[in-house]
Amino acid sequence: MHEVQTSGRRSGAPLFWTVALVATVIDAVSKFLLEHMEVAPPVRIAAALLPLPGNIALMVLILRAIRRLDEFQQRIQLEAVAFGFLATAIAVFVYGYLQKALATGPLRPWLVYLFMAVTYGIGYLAAARRYR
């Protein structure tokens, strides 16, 4: 796979996808351990925290990539992230009230992440279109 050169620096895309793959495998292992293994509470806590380093590494890589963007692209990213964050905050807030009304079940973290990713995408498209 060829790496894209930007201002004499590598793009970091292959590293990102490698870390993302490893983090996903670790997430799956953690989920399996927590759902299918009878282990002592300290081991359960360790299994629950197992995905943390990989996910923090992904966050760092994403922030580094955003810092390498020009100011215009950074502005688009900012608006996309702000839209996704605020839409997710409103949705979680409303969901909490629906839970109190006994209209919904427990909130699933993967659903929050999916909602955030979709609203980020919508925010990105809206910001990109606005500055076209």
Q: Is the pLDDT of residue 125 over 60?
A: yes
11 and 44 housed in the same domain: yes
Q: Is the pLDDT of residue 126 over 80?
A: yes
Mean pLDDT of the chain: 89
64 and 28 housed in the same domain: yes
120 and 85 housed in the same domain: yes
2 and 58 housed in the same domain: yes
- Around 11, how many Cα atoms within 13 Å sit in the side-chain half-sphere? 9
48 and 60 housed in the same domain: yes
85 and 26 housed in the same domain: no
* DSSP calls for the chain: -PPPEETTEE--HHHHHHHHHHHHHHHHHHHHHHHH----HHHHHHHHHTTHHHHHHHHHHHHHHHHTS-HHHHHHHHHHHHHHHHHHHHHHHHHHHHHHTT-S-PPPHHHHHHHHHHHHHHHHHHHHHHT-
**pTM of structure:** 0.75
Q: Is the pLDDT of residue 51 over 80?
A: yes
**Structure tokens belonging to residue 67:** 């810092």
In tens, the pLDDT along 8-45 reads 455 667 888 899 999 999 999 999 999 998 889 999 99
**Binning pLDDT at 50, 70 and 90, where does residue 102 land?**
very high
99 and 112 housed in the same domain: yes
**Total number of domains constituting the chain:** 2
* Residue 10, pLDDT score: 59
Distance CA 54, CA 24 (A): 8
* Residue 6, pLDDT score: 46
62 and 74 housed in the same domain: no
59 and 19 housed in the same domain: yes
* Residue 131, pLDDT score: 86
* Residue 4, pLDDT score: 43
Give the residue-averaged pLDDT of 53-69.
93
79 and 128 housed in the same domain: yes
| Residue numbers of the domain that contains 45 | 1-68
